[in-house]
Chain A
């Protein structure tokens, strides 16, 4: 009886194992005459590209065209860059120029190319106790700091967080105290917390527009040149990390900069939000933005 029981157990385990492995990535697949050796490409990116819905447009188009399969890991820019530095991702789409340069300088990533931009905005409660409306980003933050108005920081080392920290440095304020609160979460969640606490926060425009229906926060500061939010794509260096899928990374990078990719980016959001969420910048460099 027991032997039968063990037999049944073994049978279950083997079946389960095969079901479990059922959709393990196949390593070789032929597509349109050319052989793609490894079709899984790990894209490490920021939550804003996923939460805004942009990737839902770009990735299916890319996959259909090339036969690669993108595995999107949407984390903060800090974590995405860290994945690149460890060779755990193949391609990075992030928005923290200073931190990106460090990763390129270290040799972990190559071919850093500008893809698109949108802009950061400062949002806050309707009563705007620190009187920031229409001011420059610098004056607005100085006002918030001096008034000690509630400010919710992402606090997650993302691109937005890095931008915010650099702005505080720019105005010479070391934010601390009860008014400065670190959420430690993505942009969507941070906006919600700021809304609940009637505080200010720095957001990318795309996430704010996508979230607007749930928020009472208003856009108070926008259009300031210091608030540009620039996205670069980078390939993880295959010479440093032999296991990265560089062919796939290259294909994705090329797709983003192709006329099809740029067109998808430029058109995204127009219908739903009445304005584009991202501006396609293929061929431009940071110098074009005066950076």
Chain B
């Protein structure tokens, strides 16, 4: 118990003192997870929308794959991305292995199915007549889609929050494709694992506290966005 309290205090101290190393790790964490989430949103929401509105043969199969992808083990993603990005792998020429970009790729792959699945659910749960009504009122297909997105905003934001939550807390894939390199690819989760390995449980706890604090702040922000404009 003593250790937990000490870790909490140390975490706050580290954050407040502006320890440059911790700050750098924290900023990279936000950047990598933020960019990965943004990519997954840009890919995921249109696909989710399309899946919700379009009827085609084999749709059930596609949906089941998306649902499976929502729980896909990050370590498997990490392993497969590594195999592609290795120097002597198919994409080795790009020399992306052990860079923040490699981590973004792995995390975006992890988050995209979550965003697709949840945005699909958000659009589907709207009244199905709404779209036809919009179109009959003279909206083009694009306009109708845009209005549907606005209408399903709460659910879509939930998709973004869930995707972000998944990637910022993820460690297996980040460790594999990033390598936990000091000053380059070390993020809060991989730093925690490393400090545990070193036996610095108090420092590990302090880093975890910073991770929780950042994750919570961002979720609060997204939640605010989610509910903003409800009064519009």
Question: In the assembled complex, how far is the CB of residue B42 from the closest CB belonging to chain A, in whole angstroms?
Answer: 6
Give a binary string over B189-203; 1 marks a CB under 8 Å from any A CB, 0 the rest. Answer: 000001011110100
Q: How many residues of A contact B (CB 8 A)?
A: 43
Residue of B nearest to A213 (CB): B199
Residue of B nearest to A2 (CB): B142
Interface range on chain B (Cβ under 8 Å from partner): 20 to 34
Please measure, in the bound complex, the distance between the C-alpha atom of A210 and the C-alpha atom of B143, giving whole angstroms.
63
Tell whether, in the assembled complex, residue A24 and residue B92 are in contact, meaning their CB atoms are under 8 Å apart. Answer: no
Looking at the complex, which one of A21, A50, A88, A211 makes contact with B194 (CB distance below 8 Å)? A50
Tell whether, in the assembled complex, residue A243 and residue B88 are in contact, meaning their CB atoms are under 8 Å apart. Answer: yes
CB < 8 Å A-B pair total: 90
Please measure, in the bound complex, the distance between the C-alpha atom of A125 and the C-alpha atom of B82, giving whole angstroms.
40
Please measure, in the bound complex, the distance between the C-alpha atom of A25 and the C-alpha atom of B99, giving whole angstroms.
8
Tell whether, in the assembled complex, residue B99 and residue A24 are in contact, meaning their CB atoms are under 8 Å apart. Answer: yes
Residue of B nearest to A74 (CB): B180
B104 — which chain A residues lie within 8 A by C-beta? 20
Looking at the complex, which one of B95, B97, B101, B184 makes contact with A20 (CB distance below 8 Å)? B101
Interface stretch of the complex, out of A96-104, A132-140, A175-183, A185-193: A185-193
B166 — which chain A residues lie within 8 A by C-beta? none
B interface majority secondary structure? helix
Please measure, in the bound complex, the distance between the C-alpha atom of A253 and the C-alpha atom of B55, giving whole angstroms.
62
Tell whether, in the assembled complex, residue A1 and residue B142 are in contact, meaning their CB atoms are under 8 Å apart. Answer: yes
Residue of A nearest to B97 (CB): A88
B86 — which chain A residues lie within 8 A by C-beta? 86, 88
* A2-B146, A211-B199 known; A21 vs B101 contact (CB < 8 Å): yes
Please measure, in the bound complex, the distance between the C-alpha atom of A191 and the C-alpha atom of B197, giving whole angstroms.
10
Tell whether, in the assembled complex, residue B98 and residue A42 are in contact, meaning their CB atoms are under 8 Å apart. Answer: yes
Looking at the complex, which one of A3, A25, A72 makes contact with B95 (CB distance below 8 Å)? A25
Q: Indicate if A248 sits at the interface (CB-CB under 8 A).
A: no
B97 — which chain A residues lie within 8 A by C-beta? 88
Residue of B nearest to A42 (CB): B98
Please measure, in the bound complex, the distance between the C-alpha atom of A25 and the C-alpha atom of B184, giving whole angstroms.
10
Please measure, in the bound complex, the distance between the C-alpha atom of A47 and the C-alpha atom of B142, giving whole angstroms.
54
Give a binary string over A42-85; 1 marks a CB under 8 Å from any B CB, 0 the rest. Answer: 10000100110100100100000000010111100000000000
Give a binary string over B137-159; 1 marks a CB under 8 Å from any A CB, 0 the rest. Answer: 00010110110000000000000
B39 — which chain A residues lie within 8 A by C-beta? 13, 16
Residue among A13, A19, A20, A214 with most chain B CB within 10 A: A20
Q: Indicate if B219 sits at the interface (CB-CB under 8 A).
A: no
* A16-B38, A21-B101 known; A72 vs B182 contact (CB < 8 Å): yes
B92 — which chain A residues lie within 8 A by C-beta? 243
Residue of B nearest to A13 (CB): B42
User: Which A residues lie at the B interface, using CB under 8 A?
Assistant: 1-3, 5, 9, 12-13, 16, 19-21, 23-25, 42, 47, 50-51, 53, 56, 59, 69, 71-74, 86-88, 186-189, 191-192, 210-211, 213-215, 241, 243-244
